[in-house]
Amino acid sequence: MIILHGIKNCDTVKKARRWLESHHIDYQFHDYRANGINAEMMHKFSAALGWQALLNTRGTTWRTLDEARRNAITDEQSAIALMIEMPAIIKRPLLCAPGKPMLLGFNETQYQQYFNEV
């Protein structure tokens, strides 16, 4: 089962969902806020992609943190704890498909290549 992880009101997630639906690709949507996120999931994502890639340091949520809190994120453990506490700080969407590497973010060309639809 293909799973798209993200937050439903995120514009980039909406683009990814529209792309999947327009290409008739069945998927399950996992909303970090509604369905939750736990340490086991985050460690799996981090092992595959690296915690630095998962932590969205360019978004609004990161910018609203005070400097001391941002400076305290120095390793996988501190980053995962923050991402569990504040799921909006996770870069999205995150696409997981059986037998394929995880794909972070949305780019139409990448999705076409990922699903061999070039």
- Residue 30 has what DSSP assignment? E
Give CA–CA dist 14/92, Å, rounded: 10
Catalytic residue among 4, 10, 94, 96: 10
Most distant CA pair in the chain, distance: 46
- Whether 10 and 32 have beta carbons less than 8 Å apart is answered as no
10 is catalytic: yes
Both tokens assigned to 65: 């943190």
List, by residue number, the catalytic residues.
10
